[in-house]
């Protein structure tokens, strides 16, 4: 349903490929719906942290991060293909997956992930590619938890290893130009 709505915004000539990938699904919440344990679960998760806490019979953020890494490896192989050289890529997923995608892509530490709020329903972020050097700039300001100040993208500059697509696909470090 979401795919159909998005595809209506593009002409058929601009849509080269649509692919569903099970790795970009939402985090498995396991027994989080167990109302008897819900308070305990929330307290444990707050103590351990959203990245490392694994829901009973579910996944941790670290587990989803592994799926993100696997997905990105496949994506980079496709992007490295000359058929995908100058095209836009739209990834439709859930908020946690998208935050972990950014964390992995920009090599942010877990502490930075813990400051980020989830995207609103239908929320998005834009990574714009510099055609000259292949680097990607995050064009969207991200929301952080209310006890923190809003993150502006220039504040993140020193927080992540700046990398270009070309270097990432060849297992070296990225560079980022503003």
What would the pLDDT profile of 108-146 be if each residue is shown by its tens digit? 998 888 888 888 887 888 888 888 887 888 888 888 876
What confidence score (pLDDT) does residue 58 get?
86
- Tokens 């500059």 correspond to 157
Q: Which of 162, 175, 10 is nearest to 92 (CA)?
A: 10
How far, in Å, CA of 103 to CA of 101, rounded?
5
Task: Using the predicted structure, report yes or no on whether residue 104 has a pLDDT greater than 90.
Answer: yes
What confidence score (pLDDT) does residue 13 get?
64
Measure Cα distances from 111 to 34, 68, 108 in Å. 28, 18, 8
pLDDT top residue among 151 and 116: 116
Give the pTM: 0.67
Mean pLDDT for the stretch of residues 66-71: 90
Mean pLDDT for the stretch of residues 148-163: 44
**Measured distance between the N- and C-terminal CA atoms of the chain, rounded to whole angstroms:** 36
For the chain, how big is the Rg over CA atoms in Å? Answer: 17
How far, in Å, CA of 78 to CA of 80, rounded?
5
Mean pLDDT for the stretch of residues 17-45: 75
How far, rounded to the nearest angstrom, does the alpha carbon of residue 160 sit from its chain's CA centroid? Answer: 14
List, in order of start, the domains of the chain with CATH numbers: 21-169 (3.40.50.1240)
Helix (H) or strand (E) holding 127: strand 127-129
């Amino acid at each position: 349903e979401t795919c159909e709505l998005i595809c209506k915004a593009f002409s058929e000539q601009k849509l080269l490929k649509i692919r569903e990938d099970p790795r970009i699904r939402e985090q498995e919440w396991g027994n989080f719906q167990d109302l008897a344990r819900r308070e305990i679960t929330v307290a444990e998760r707050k103590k351990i942290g959203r990245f490392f806490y694994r829901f009973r019979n579910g996944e941790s953020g670290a587990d989803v991060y592994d799926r993100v890494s696997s997905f990105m490896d496949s994506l980079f192989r496709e992007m490295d293909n000359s058929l995908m050289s100058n095209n836009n890529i739209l990834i439709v997923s859930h908020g946690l997956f998208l935050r972990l995608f950014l964390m992995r892509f920009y090599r942010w530490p877990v502490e930075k992930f813990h400051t980020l709020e989830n995207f609103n329903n239908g929320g998005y972020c834009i990574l714009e590619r510099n055609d000259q050097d292949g680097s990607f700039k995050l064009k969207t300001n991200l929301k952080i938890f209310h006890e923190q100040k809003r993150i502006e993208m220039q504040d993140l500059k020193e927080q992540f290893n700046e990398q270009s697509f070309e270097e990432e696909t060849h297992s070296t470090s990225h560079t980022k130009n503003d």
